[in-house]
Structure 1
Amino acid sequence: MRRMIITSSLLLALSATAMASQVYKWVDAQGVTHFSSQPPRGQQATSINTAAPPPAKPVEAAEPDVIPTFESISDPEQAAIDKKVRQEVAAKEAERKKYCEDVRTNLAQLQNNPRLRMEVDGEVRRINEEERQERISAAQKAIADNCQ
């Protein structure tokens, strides 16, 4: 049962990019940038690639005197937008860390357990060594691409 859960978790973690939805970006008549899952009617929108993995390395912060604080921004709307963006960036970083932790756990399970079983169409079957090695390679690639 435990192995089935671990295998299912690995499959779920590796299929996250397949479940990503399309996001559209456009600027309205007032110059405000919008993001939505559906393009606006009567306006041109650009499609944003959401299938890309989160950034591998955090962006290095600039010098403290270069980054404006919420209090130093005179436009309250811009300050709210900046605060929201910072919260979204922090949430994405937390999501990336969780993803990396899950992939590392799944990789350890794949490497330590040569006899793994998985449920396919209601039937439990043992994965062969070739499948296991493919999954190990995929997990190692995901770690190398997203978790350094």
Structure 2
Amino acid sequence: MNKFSLLLGSALLILASASSAAKFYKWVDDNGVTHYGANPPQGVVSTEVNTRANASSDQNKALESLQEKRDQATKEREQAEQAAEEARREKTDPEAVQQERCEQYRKNLDILINKPTVRQKNPETGEMEVIDQDKREEILEKTRKALEQCEAS
């Protein structure tokens, strides 16, 4: 029974691929109208049309571009949602938000001072990159100023 099922399945696949590879033709009539059909008319120059499911390189590029645009739109929407949530939290409980930020500044300062290598996410590529000493000093200065604001409030 298994051999029969395997043979039947193979035969169906062969028939399906043969039918999907049916020939279609393209021709232009005397009025300049383009026609497509399985059988071209007699005495008219026609060309065979490729009906395979393979996408052309132009189609692949267009699809990739469309997907990149969709991904970018999704990323922007998520960022807008995060910003809206942060703004809502800022309005409803500003003290808690400020405390969370100050705690994050303390953690960042500890990392900047005690870790020999510090990485930061590149906003353009989204990849983690090791920061150089100049960038480290710049971030240290900003973090210390932010912590001074925390201590003042």
* TM-score normalised by the chain length of structure 1: 0.37
* TM-score normalised by the chain length of structure 2: 0.36
Larger Rg: 2
Q: Which has the bigger relative contact order, CA under 8 A and spacing at least 6?
A: 1
